[in-house]
């Protein structure tokens, strides 16, 4: 039944193919960009915390990507940080040229959060399964399902590999991608 639910959500995404923006900060990110640390707080985010810094960078990415789109922007964050209804982002988006609304909400109230959670899970799970030494048939099914979704994201690299690809194969692709980016 769980696999059918995943298939259903994948079909919904494949039907609409909304653009997806992601931002991850790991132990290499700051070093790769010659940054020792970031200290400060903005809109309740502690920039010395990698999760908060990731969210901050994602919001900045959204702001830059849609800068020329002079329409109102609504950002809904999962309630994990604050109670539903709490405002968010007024400092980061203080100079937004049109109306800005940022609010915390629950996925029970906002179905788009369920879709965002699904996409985040698919991306994270695919990454995990790609580094797993022995994948099961269900693991391979899941990786194939996510690949067929054709997630519209400039930050994801899609490659076609044989079903028995190894971590070494993935490491080589990662190495080539980093070299291409000058990292």
pLDDT tens for residues 80-111?
Answer: 888 999 999 999 999 888 889 999 999 889 98
Q: What is the mean pLDDT of residues 136-162?
A: 88
More confident residue, 67 or 17: 17
Task: Name every residue whose Cβ is closer than 8 Å to that of residue 56 and which is 6 or more positions away in sequence.
Answer: 42, 43, 45, 47, 92
Asked if the model's pLDDT at residue 183 lies above 70, the reply is no
Q: What is the mean pLDDT of residues 39-60?
A: 92
Q: What is the mean pLDDT of residues 21-45?
A: 85
Q: What is the mean pLDDT of residues 18-33?
A: 84
Token pair 């909400």 is found at 105
When divided into structural domains, the chain yields a total of: 1
Q: What is the residue range of 84's domain? A: 2-180
20-43: buried (b, 16+ CB within 10 Å) or exposed (e) per residue? bebbebeeebeeeeeeeebeeeeb
DSSP state of 8: H
Which pLDDT score is estimated for 90? 92
Q: Tell me how crowded residue 146 is: count the other CB atoms within 10 A of its CB.
A: 23
Q: What is the mean pLDDT of residues 128-138?
A: 88
Asked if the model's pLDDT at residue 153 lies above 80, the reply is yes
How high is the mean pLDDT of the chain?
88
First to last CA, the chain: 43
Cβ atoms of 89 and 75 within 8 Å: the answer is yes
Which pLDDT score is estimated for 171? 79
Can you tell me the distance from the alpha carbon of 172 to that of 103, in angstroms, rounded to the nearest whole number? Answer: 41
DSSP per position, 80-117: TSS-TT-B--TTTTTT-SS-EEEEEE-TTT-HHHHHHH
């Amino acid at each position: 039944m769980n696999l059918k639910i995943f298939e259903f959500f994948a079909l919904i995404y494949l039907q609409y193919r909304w653009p997806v923006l992601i931002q991850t900060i790991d132990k290499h990110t700051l070093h790769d960009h010659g940054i020792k640390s970031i200290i400060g707080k903005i809109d309740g985010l502690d920039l010395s915390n990698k999760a908060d810094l990731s969210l901050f960078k994602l919001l900045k990415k959204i702001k830059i990507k849609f800068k020329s789109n002079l329409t109102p922007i609504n950002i809904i964050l999962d309630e994990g940080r604050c109670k539903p209804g709490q405002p968010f982002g007024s400092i980061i988006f203080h100079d937004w040229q049109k109306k800005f609304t940022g609010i915390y909400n629950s996925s029970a109230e906002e179905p788009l959060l369920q879709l965002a959670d699904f996409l985040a899970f698919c991306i994270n799970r695919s990454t995990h399964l790609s580094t797993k030494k022995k994948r099961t048939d269900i693991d391979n099914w899941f990786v194939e399902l996510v690949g067929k979704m054709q997630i519209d994201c400039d930050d994801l690299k899609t490659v076609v590999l044989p079903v028995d690809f190894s971590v070494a194969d993935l490491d080589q692709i990662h190495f080539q991608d980093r070299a291409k980016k000058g990292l």
